[in-house]
Every structure is written in C-alpha cells, then in structure tokens.
Structure 1
Amino acid sequence: MPTSPAAIALPLRQRLALAAICVTGLALFQPFWTLDAQVRAGAAVLLAIGLWTTGWLPPWLTALVFFTLCMAGKVAPAADVFAGFASSAVWLVFSGAVLGEAIRHTGLGERLADRLAPVLTRSYPRAVAGVTLFAAAMLFIMPSAMGRTMLLLPILAALADRLGYRPGSKGRIGLILGGLFGTYLPATAVLPANIPNNVLAGSMESILGLVPSYGPYFLLHFPILGALRLGLLIALLAVLYRDAPQAAAAAPPQTAPGPTTAAQRRLGLVLALAVVLWSSDGWHHIPAAWTGMLAALVCLFPGSGLLPGNAFGSLRFEAIFYVAGIVSLGAVADHSGLGASVARLAIAALPFSPEAPGLAFGLLSGLSTLVGLAVTLPGVPPVMTPLTADLAAAVGWSPMAVAMTQVVAFSSVILPYQAPPLVVAIQSGYLPGRDVTRLCLLTAAITIIALWPLDYWWWRVLGLIG
C-alpha cells in the first residue's frame, strides 16, 4: 500500500533546513571548480550556525550534519572535524549528566532544595536573588562552568518544585534561568571559572609571553561584568518572570523526603570530594573534566546504589554531540584560517586610532564579539590573540590591555550556541530554548549598551588605558 503524502510531509522549517543542507552539499561536492579552503569551511560553518540559531533541526542532528559534510566534503582533517570529542567540554557534559542523574535518583537534590527553600519563600524577587547568588557563589568553588551547570540544574528543578513552581510555569523558568546565567555570566570575570578564560590565559602565555594573574584579572573585570551584571540580571528576571507559586504544589506531604539515606550520604561525600578536587586543580593539575569523570565512575560502578540498574541507557547523549559539534566548529574555522581572515579584514576596515581610546575599546570588543559569533566563545582567544601585537600598535595600547578586550567580548553571549553550558540546559529539558535565547539577547544588549561604557571608564580609573 503506498504511503500517503500526508505521512511524509515535512514541516516548513524542516524543508528549509533540508534545502539549506542540499545547497551547501552541492557547493562542497560540485566538480566544476575548486573552492578556496576558507570558502568551503565558511559554507559548513554558516550552515551549522544558521541551523543552530533558527532551531529548524534538533541541535544534535545539526552537529551530525556538520560532521558529515565536513568529512565527505574534505573541508578539514578528521582531527579537526572531530576535535570536539577530544575536548574536556564533552567529558564534562558526560560526567555532569551522570552526577545529575545520581542527584535525581538518590533524592539529594530534593533534600538540598528543602534546606534552601525556607529562606527563599517570602517573595519571587527574593527567590530569584537567592538562587542567582547561590549559583554565582559556586563559581569560586568549582572551576568548570559546564560542571557547575550539570550539578545545579537538578537542584534548581527540585528547588522550584519545593517553592511551588510547576514544570512549564513562568516562575520556574525564571528561577532556573537565574541559576544558569548566575553561574555562567559572571564566570567570565573570574580567571579559572570558565573555558574561554583559561583558553585566553594559555594563548597569552604561549603567544605573547604574558600570564594574567587572578587578582588583577578579577579587579579589572568583576566589578562591572560580574557584580553589577548580576544585580541587573536579578532585576530583569524578577520583572520578566514574576509569578505566584501554587500553594498546593509546594512541598506536598506525599513527596517530602524522610531522613537522610545512606545513598544520599555516599553521594554527598562523592560530590564533596569532587568539589575539593575541582577547587584545588591548581595544586594537583588534574583537569576538571577528569575529576568529574572519577566521580561519575564511582556513581556508575555496579553496586554503588547511586544510580538505577539501567543508568547508562537512561542518560541523554544529545548534548554531548551538540557540544562536540560546537567545539569542532571552532577547530574547523581555525584550521581553515576563516576566523583570522575575518578579523584581519575587519582590522583593515575599522578606524583604529590612538587618539580615540573610547572608540578603540568599542571596536576591539566588537571585533572579538563578531569573531565569537563565527567560531563560538572558546574560539575567540585562538583567533584574536595572534593579532594582539598588530592591534596594540594600531591603537597605542599595551598588549595586555588589547588582550583583555576579548574578555569584554566573550562575556556578551548573544546566542546560546556560543556557550555550551547554555545549550546543555536546553538539551537536558530544563529550559525552553526561546527563553534562553531571549535572555541572551537581552543581557547582551544591556551589556553592550550600558556596561561596555562603564567598563571602559573603569579601565581608565585603573590606569590600564588612557
């Protein structure tokens, strides 16, 4: 019996996605003329960014399309196309997923939520402020933004339940957004608390011979891009997502946890040891990803009682492919020279001048922001740091000052695909993509319009420029 047309009809957005994939594939595979390596890479990169931004396809499927086109079209070597799977970010996602499932399975998230809930119940602004500040405090203990995100999400969801905000409610979305953005946005202002920060430090040391230290970095960036932005974030969420809890849903008697179980105590010990190792990585030099994997292995080991018997089968791997795709996109763009070419074209076109330091600050930060849209935020330092000497000569600043404008740029997350922790929150089902995208756009607009000028004057007060 033939299949009816209705059974194979595709929604408009999927038809558009298929058309874009076919056009890109034809450009890569056509035999009539040889395309420049940067043009080929640009086609694959633009397709992936476009599909991730529009949401026409599931993000994990877009990543698979990107891998396939790059390999079939010989856009870059396999080592670059699949570089994401060798990155620590992917294994942080995996270990975070395991720890998050253990927190859910043992009920530890509900117990922690019960401890936090009493101090957050007076008003919605108080709840948002408490959640956001609690998540921000975690960045001083746990150096990996991805690890913090995976650890916090199940706790935030349980806390929203305890406060009476049901799944899908406006108040619940606002609380989880507060925790997510509270642990990610200010992390760019604390040196070891985010991947782009660490990539920048490594790039500066290897290329410029400069090593940014914790204290000066913190003083330069945290007052404006950290503390002040946290306050603005809390105010924004309190206005946009203000909601009344449903009293009947708050701490229902049938789900109230009893005494602390042995599994909860064991998991609490595992998490405490993991946090100690995360916070002391400067001493033992074990990367955060592998500390997380050690904790995940303890949870996965048969007989631990920290996960159900079919734990591996119940884990969701969509986020792993997506994060791997994002990291690989930056590697492909870097291998082809696409990011550096975009930056050099912009340098030639922009009116840099030592006599206009304010304009130079905006142009340098804007240039790195543009690069971040092309190669994602962790890809900004590898592209921009080699250009620092030329840029410093053009604007008459020190190389350190020019390099620090990258922080201003990658602190302005315009779209979620630029920052893997935000994508993981979407892919894990804790937040709708439209809400994360809207908050990215709002916070980026506020940062660029209001905080960049304030940051410029703060730099002048500290004597870094001017």
Structure 2
Amino acid sequence: MKHTKWIAGLVGIILGLIITFAIPTPHGLTHAGMVVLASLVTANIFWIFNVIPSFATGLLMLSSWVILGATDFPTAFNIFSTTTMWIIIGGLGLGAAATKTGLINRIALKIMSWFPANFSGQTLALFTAGTIISPMIPSAHPKTAMSTPIAQGISNALGYKPMSKGSSGLFLAAIWGFLVMEASFLSATAQNYAFKGLLPNKFQSVLSWGNWFIMMLPWTLIALVGGFFLLRFLFRPHNDQTVSKAFINQQLTDLGPMSREEKITGGVILVAIVFWILESTVNIPAAVTALVGVSVLVATKVLTPNDFKTRLSWNTIIFIGTVMALGNVMQTVGLTTWLRVILKPVISPILGNIWITVIALPIIIYICKFVVVSLISTGTLIIIALLPFFQTTPFNPAVIVFIVTTSVNIWLLSYMDAPFLTGSAAVNNSMASKRSLATSSLGYMVINIVGLLCCVPVWQLLGVV
C-alpha cells in the first residue's frame, strides 16, 4: 500500500511537470492556466491515493501557483480571509462545545426516551435525534462516533445479536439520522460550506441558512420517511416486542442534571441558529454570529484555549480552504472558459435540463465514489469539473451543491464513507453486516434521486430553476 502511494505520487508529479513545461499551451489557454491545470491534475492524484495528508497537498497546490507565476500570493490564498472560512471555524467551535459538555448526548438520549422501546420506535428516535442535532455540530465524525455506541446500547437492551437484522438496522438508523441528514442544513457539516464556497460569489448569496433549509425540505421529508420505511422493511425483527427503556433511562440518570456548561452551550447554539435563519433580515453575516457565539463560550470558560488545539480539526479547515481557492483562481487564469469549450459536448446535455441533471449527476457521483473515497474530495472534483458551465446553465448553479452534498454520502462499500468508518470503529465493527450496508446504501441511492426530483418544483417556485 505504501509503495502504491509513492508510485502514484511520482506519477502525479511527472504529469504535472509535463503539462507545465513539455506540452505546448493550447489555443485559448494561457501559461498561467496550464500551471493551474497541471497542479490540479497532480493534486487530484495525491488526493485519490492519499499520498500525503490532504491539507498538505492543498497547501502545495496553492504554493505552486505562486512559485510558477500563475498568480500572486494574495490571490492564491485569498479564500482564507473570506466569511466562509470563518463560519467553518466558528461552527466547529460551537460543535466542539456541544460535544465536550455532553449536551448532544443528553439531547439524543432524551429524544429516544420519548419513543417506544422496540425496533420501529428507536429507529424513528435515532432519525429524529440525528436530524435535530445535525445543525449543531458541523462535523460528521464526532456525530457518528457518538451515535453508534448509543445505537449499540439500545440494540443490546432490545436483545438483538451482533450482526443480526435488528442490530444492523439500528446501526444504520444512527448513521442515517446523524450523517445522512446533514444535507438538510447548511451548518450540519463543514463540507456544505466548502461546496458553497466553490461557487462564484454571485451564486453563493442564495444559499443562506434559511434558504438552504427551505430548498432542501422536500428532500429532507423524502429521506426521512423513505429511510424509515426502508430500514423497517429490511431489518425489522419478526418478533418486534416492546421492552423496558431501562438502558436509556439509566444513561440519562448517569448524566445527572444539566450542567452550567450545557445550559450556556445550548443557549448560545439556539441563538446562533435563530440568527442564521434571519441572516438576511438582521443583516449580520453567519460567520459573525458563529464567532460571537464561540467568544461567549470562551468568556464563560465553556471552551478553553486548549480546546481550540485539540477539538477543532485544523487539518480539515486548511484542506477546505485550499480546495475552495480553486474556484476563483481557475476563473482568474481563464481555465474555466477553456474547459467549457473542451467539455461542452459531454456536459451540456446533462446540465441542459434540470430533470436530467438531478437523475444523471447523482449516478455519476455514485460511480466516482468507487475511486475517490473522501466525501469532500469527490464533491470538490465534481463541482470543479462543472464550474466552467455555471455561467450557461438554465438554472442557478447553487442547486448543483445540493445534488453533490446528498450524493457523496453513500456506503455501498464501507470504504466509500470515512465518517461511516468512524461510526463502525466506535462499535468495533460488531453491529452491521456487509450485506446490510450494501442493501441500505442502494436504497438510499434511489431515495436520494427521488428526493431531489421532489425538490425541483420548490426550486422553480423560488426562482432558482
């Protein structure tokens, strides 16, 4: 495996050098465009084969633009001063506090105590808890690491054997609620902001927190209802008897009353969500709201300076910044215009009609996931490939972000979804069989396309299609 990485890395570097220095610059493209194209080819190979950490690849890519004269430093690294980067940092800070204080765990357990203690009831509880918690933590890994052990405890309390239908179903309900439903809210994962940040500025304004929720509402309802009945059909045990909620109640008892830190965190997050929804009305940028919220948490000692070192994924933040830089720089050096001419015969039929787009594009992304494991890398590559066509599509390119966000989250093979692997590791890979993973993912892939199709009328009413 190590040799494969280094061979891939060497191939990527050689290809980059050939494109930069050996191939004549095509008509319609500048040398600066060739440099950016070469760096993109090399970076993609590095990302696909994980040659070095993704954020380091991204930093090298941006640095190569400056070293080889494609652009200057302020242009290459401009993205790190934008509001998108700061809302990611602020959002991750709020999520770190919610996880640290145990607030998220308490909310999830409380919701589960309201539902019947059987497969159907607790599946619905996991769906509900995950959907409610999603906008509070903009990071998938903590949510899956927290939710699957809760699902395992419920499974054990209900008497399900490891890898059985019931155990597999509850594991997937946790994944579905806490991971899949991230697509419903802009603040539910940092990659949503990253994909939004790849759009030209004039198209980003439509993707406020409130607009995102409204435009994704049909998909949310289809994903929740369809997912619940899919898991119930595939995994509900034949003898689905209601048992005692002793496990859930005991965990709630062990937590004790809400701490001062939980109350402060809950209040700050609630206020932040309200201001995110009303962003266009109160005219306060979402990034400012998030940063004020984090500052309050620091001032009240809910978060400490050390938490910023250990609880925020800085490598992810840097990686997101480097991939977002591609959008503006590709336009600046004329690469998007050149690619639009080259790729038009293939891409135009897909993007020429919104109904074709919401069917064909997810299928293309599903296929890409067999090769590109990282969710954010897959989404980035797709958006960058389509970027040259955003000026000519008959619909607002913002909808491409929705399609990408919902479609990268598949687990047909477990390696396709890194947060999924985190959730599996949290329960020692003991809950779900490989067959259950594959069948549920196939079901999601169909439900996803149906949900996106149901969004189209809403997008039309809102004037983005």
How would you bin the TM-score normalised by the shorter chain?
A: 0.5 to 0.7
240 and 324 in structure 1: CA distance in 2 versus 1, 3 angstrom threshold: farther
Aligned residue in 1 for 2:18: 27
User: Is there any run of 5+ residues in structure 2 with no aligned partner, and where?
Assistant: 155-161, 366-376, 411-415, 426-433
1:266 maps to amino acid: I
Using structure 2 for the length normalisation, give the TM-score. 0.66
Aligned residue in 2 for 1:411: 403
SS of 1:71 mapped into structure 2: helix
2:107 maps to amino acid: L
Q: CA deviation at 1:324?
A: 0.8
Per-residue Cα deviation, 1:269-291 (whole angstroms, up to 9, x for no partner): 22222222222212221221221
Per-residue Cα deviation, 1:221-259 (whole angstroms, up to 9, x for no partner): 743x443244344455667898999x9986766981112
2:183 maps to amino acid: Y
Match of 2:222 among 228, 253, 278: 228
Match of 2:138 among 149, 162, 168: 149
Aligned residue in 2 for 1:4: none
SS of 2:117 mapped into structure 1: coil
98 and 429 in structure 1: CA distance in 2 versus 1, 3 angstrom threshold: farther
CA contact 1:412–1:448 (8 Å) conserved in 2: no
Equivalences for residues 17-416 of structure 1 within 5 A: 17-27=8-18, 30=21, 36-120=31-115, 122-124=117-119, 126-136=121-131, 148-150=137-139, 154=142, 157-165=145-153, 171-172=170-171, 175-185=174-184, 203=202, 222-223=217-218, 225-235=219-229, 256-301=254-299, 304-308=300-304, 310-315=306-311, 316-348=313-345, 360-361=353-354, 383-388=388-393, 402-404=394-396, 407=399, 410-413=402-405, 414-415=407-408
CA contact 2:195–2:379 (8 Å) conserved in 1: no
81 and 251 in structure 1: CA distance in 2 versus 1, 3 angstrom threshold: farther
Distance (Å, rounded) in 2 between the aligned partners of 1:15 and 1:105: 38
Aligned residue in 1 for 2:413: none
CA contact 1:340–1:383 (8 Å) conserved in 2: yes
212 and 406 in structure 1: CA distance in 2 versus 1, 3 angstrom threshold: closer
Distance (Å, rounded) in 2 between the aligned partners of 1:452 and 1:258: 42
1:44 maps to amino acid: S
2:178 maps to amino acid: G
240 and 59 in structure 1: CA distance in 2 versus 1, 3 angstrom threshold: farther
339 and 47 in structure 1: CA distance in 2 versus 1, 3 angstrom threshold: same
412 and 387 in structure 1: CA distance in 2 versus 1, 3 angstrom threshold: same
Aligned residue in 2 for 1:446: 446
Distance (Å, rounded) in 2 between the aligned partners of 1:71 and 1:64: 11
User: Is there any run of 5+ residues in structure 1 with no aligned partner, and where?
Assistant: 1-9, 389-401, 418-422
Question: Which sits farther off after the overlay, 338-347 or 362-371?
Answer: 362-371
Aligned residues: 412
SS of 1:307 mapped into structure 2: coil
314 and 173 in structure 1: CA distance in 2 versus 1, 3 angstrom threshold: farther
SS of 1:403 mapped into structure 2: coil
214 and 186 in structure 1: CA distance in 2 versus 1, 3 angstrom threshold: closer
SS of 2:301 mapped into structure 1: coil
Aligned residue in 1 for 2:431: none
Distance (Å, rounded) in 2 between the aligned partners of 1:213 and 1:262: 31
CA contact 2:227–2:447 (8 Å) conserved in 1: no
Aligned residue in 2 for 1:398: none
Q: CA deviation at 1:216?
A: 11
Distance (Å, rounded) in 2 between the aligned partners of 1:214 and 1:295: 16
CA contact 1:102–1:306 (8 Å) conserved in 2: yes
Identity percentage of aligned residues: 18
Q: CA deviation at 1:344?
A: 3.5
Distance (Å, rounded) in 1 between the aligned partners of 2:196 and 2:79: 18
Per-residue Cα deviation, 1:162-210 (whole angstroms, up to 9, x for no partner): 44459x996557514432321315769xxxx97767987963699xxxx
31 and 159 in structure 1: CA distance in 2 versus 1, 3 angstrom threshold: closer
410 and 349 in structure 1: CA distance in 2 versus 1, 3 angstrom threshold: same
Per-residue Cα deviation, 1:288-344 (whole angstroms, up to 9, x for no partner): 12211111112223xx23135632332331111121122112233333333343334
CA contact 1:25–1:69 (8 Å) conserved in 2: no
CA contact 1:117–1:162 (8 Å) conserved in 2: no
1:387 maps to amino acid: T
1:264 maps to amino acid: E
CA contact 2:15–2:41 (8 Å) conserved in 1: no
Per-residue Cα deviation, 1:40-97 (whole angstroms, up to 9, x for no partner): 2222223333433444443223323323333333343323432331233332332233
2:221 maps to amino acid: A
Question: Which sits farther off after the overlay, 29-38 or 99-108?
Answer: 29-38
Distance (Å, rounded) in 1 between the aligned partners of 2:343 and 2:117: 51
Distance (Å, rounded) in 1 between the aligned partners of 2:232 and 2:16: 46
Distance (Å, rounded) in 1 between the aligned partners of 2:174 and 2:331: 37
Q: Relative contact order (alpha carbons < 8 A, sep ≥ 6): 1 or 2 greater?
A: 2
